Amino acid sequence: MKFIIRQVKELDRSLIALFYRYGHMLHRVSIGVLFIWFGLLKPFGHKTTTSILAHTIYWGDPESMVLILGWWEVTIGVCLLFRPLVRVALLLLLIRLPGVILTFVLNPEICFYSFPFSPTPEGQYLIKDLAIFIATLAIAGSSHLHDKPNQYH
């Protein structure tokens, strides 16, 4: 029995070391891919709930805003793929974040069937957006802990 416990503990230590070594990079890259993927949907005409955000931000006509937001997300994603650009991604993300929050404030009837426990599909998308943003903030905030010379992945 002690042998099994020792083997389980050794496996646990090995997995923790593996997760520590590659987890941060995989997390950053996977979120970068998500931003690129979802961002590219917008300029190529696929309907997304970003149109809610485009109607909330009054800096231009909604169609133009959807294109701008789509390419903005692609840029965030590309910056996340390359560690030296993570802080640029953070800046772009922080500029975009108030628009998401503003959507909840200005359009709660679009975001919730019944506030706050029953979000609409659009509200669910924006809540997931916030979760992804917060995960990106955590990645960007700790990226310096994983810096190694000449490491660009």
Three-state secondary-structure class, residue 104: helix
Q: What is the pLDDT of residues 71-95, one digit of tens each?
A: 999 999 999 999 889 889 989 988 8
Domain layout of the chain by residue ranges: 22-145
Is the pLDDT reported for residue 152 higher than 80?
no
Residues 35/40/45/50 CA torsion (nearest 10 deg): 20
Indicate the residue type of 9.
Answer: K
From residue 1, alpha-carbon distances to 5, 6, 8 in Å are 6, 9, 11
Q: What is the mean pLDDT of the chain?
A: 84
Of all residues in the chain, what percent carry a pLDDT higher than 70? 86
As a whole number of angstroms, the distance between CA 81 and CA 30 comes to 9
Amino acid 50: pLDDT: 61
The residues, any chain, with a CB within 8 Å of residue 89's CB and separated by 6 or more, are 32, 75, 76, 77, 79, 80, 136, 140
In order of 59, 65, 103, 123, the CA distances from 109 in angstroms are 22, 21, 10, 9
- pTM (two decimals): 0.77
